Amino acid sequence: MDVDVLVVGAGLAGLYTATLLAQRGHDVLLVERRPKLTGAIRTTGIFVRRTLDDFALPPDCLGPPIRRVVLYPPSQRHPVTLVSARDEYRVADMARLYVAASSAAADAGVRISLGTRYAGREADSFLVVGPDGPACVRARFVVGADGARSRVARDLALDRNRHLLVGAEKVFAISGGEEPPTFHCVLDPSLAPGYLAWVINDGNRAHVGVAGYADRFPDGLRRALDRFGASAPGLAGAGRSDEVERRGGPIPVGGVLRRISCVDGLLVGDAAGAVSPLTAGGLDPCLRLSEHAAAVLDEALRAGRPDALSHYDGAVLRAGFRGRLMLRHGLAQVRTPTLAATAFTLLRTRFGRAAAGRILFGDKSFPAP
């Protein structure tokens, strides 16, 4: 098969990049190893205000707005509550959102091949293995939208994510409950070493999760999630459905990688390390970087100049992450519950609350290319 662009991975980054390229008239094949987009979801799906303002996400895929964040020390006693004057977050029904995004891609002319794994590069073509067996694809460019552990990055000899957290969560429908839609974050390194444990309850569904450095969970990620689930805040008085969906995956937090393009292709989303090192939010960055990628690829295809991809430079974008990388380093040093409790006393001060408010409700987003 001959195409202009082969996109590997139908997460949000791959779906969006493929759609933008097809809308510009290019012939795009999108391959995804998952047999259906509603399974094996790897994200909570919290979209921040900046994304909701700038991108037209289908409203029927979004949960109620959330303005309230409650931050807890390891003891979970005397939390700090922050309430924004604006709607800050909405949790998407990701299964529905992926289906809507794939319909938009197909409408734009993208050929989507599910249950199809990218298996490597062979001379001037790419090998994919689908339900009908292996096939060779000749593409002018390949886009690695294949997540944090990108095989495309390896095959193109581009940079690869080395600084990763792992996260896992349980998702269930909820009814009743005593509080407005709220995002609860617990700073406890014995549950979430180097990051946070969370409950996000928007009144429709609750997500209970933990994330951290894989080698620092005292008794493993799964047990940490079970322990947190047993004492998680924010669920009092709420009815829970018995059906529980489990999600999880790696989260690159080392900042945008420096080398994310070469003459044969480029990386987007998690494959490019486009995740906030501090908050571990990757949905806003993956949409913004996909727009940049599609513009650069469009120019390269129209002008027939592969060197146009050299404008797609991770080192330039990375400069905008300096502050967040420093804060990530700081969070990684909070290794014991005692230290977390001490750090938490800072959060109770006016300065601490203002700083937390800036991180949680601020206007900062992925650096504009």
Q: Which residues bind ligand FAD (CB under 6 A)?
A: 8-14, 31-34, 42-46, 117-118, 145-147, 151, 167, 169, 209, 247-249, 251, 269-270, 275, 280-284, 286
User: What is the nearest approach in angstroms of ligand FAD to the Cβ of residue 305?
Assistant: 26
- Using only C-alpha atoms, the chain has a radius of gyration, in whole angstroms, of 21
Cβ count near 65 (within 10 Å): 17
User: In the complex with ligand FAD, which residue's Cβ is closer, 161 or 190?
Assistant: 161
User: In the complex with ligand FAD, which residue's Cβ is closer, 147 or 177?
Assistant: 147
On whether the CB atoms of residues 174 and 204 are closer than 8 A, the answer is yes
On whether the CB atoms of residues 6 and 29 are closer than 8 A, the answer is yes
User: In the complex with ligand FAD, which residue's Cβ is closer, 267 or 347?
Assistant: 267
On whether the CB atoms of residues 12 and 147 are closer than 8 A, the answer is no
Q: Which residues pair with 91 in a beta bridge?
A: 46
User: In the complex with ligand FAD, which residue's Cβ is closer, 26 or 288?
Assistant: 288
User: What is the nearest approach in angstroms of ligand FAD to the Cβ of residue 144?
Assistant: 9
User: What is the nearest approach in angstroms of ligand FAD to the Cβ of residue 327?
Assistant: 17
User: What is the nearest approach in angstroms of ligand FAD to the Cβ of residue 336?
Assistant: 24
User: What is the nearest approach in angstroms of ligand FAD to the Cβ of residue 82?
Assistant: 18
Closest CA to 138 of 151, 148, 125, 153: 125
Select the residue whose beta carbon is closest to ligand FAD and give its number: 282
User: In the complex with ligand FAD, which residue's Cβ is closer, 112 or 283?
Assistant: 283
User: In the complex with ligand FAD, which residue's Cβ is closer, 13 or 69?
Assistant: 13
Helices (H), the chain: 12-23, 49-54, 94-108, 151-155, 221-231, 283-303, 314-318, 322-332, 337-347, 350-361
Which backbone phi and psi does 12 adopt, to 5 degrees?
-65, -35
Cβ neighbours of residue 201 closer than 8 Å, sequence gap 6 or more: 174, 177, 179, 181, 182, 184, 207, 234, 235, 238
User: In the complex with ligand FAD, which residue's Cβ is closer, 233 or 285?
Assistant: 285
User: What is the nearest approach in angstroms of ligand FAD to the Cβ of residue 346?
Assistant: 25
CA distances from 134 to 123, 151, 231, 240 (A): 16, 17, 48, 44
User: What is the nearest approach in angstroms of ligand FAD to the Cβ of residue 235?
Assistant: 18
User: In the complex with ligand FAD, which residue's Cβ is closer, 267 or 332?
Assistant: 267
Closest CA to 141 of 270, 13, 3: 3
User: What is the nearest approach in angstroms of ligand FAD to the Cβ of residue 89?
Assistant: 8
Cβ neighbours of residue 317 closer than 8 Å, sequence gap 6 or more: 256, 274, 289, 366, 367, 369
Strand-pair category, 111-113 with 28-31: parallel
User: What is the nearest approach in angstroms of ligand FAD to the Cβ of residue 280?
Assistant: 6
Q: Which residues pair with 113 in a beta bridge?
A: 31
Which backbone phi and psi does 301 adopt, to 5 degrees?
-70, -40
User: In the complex with ligand FAD, which residue's Cβ is closer, 168 or 309?
Assistant: 168
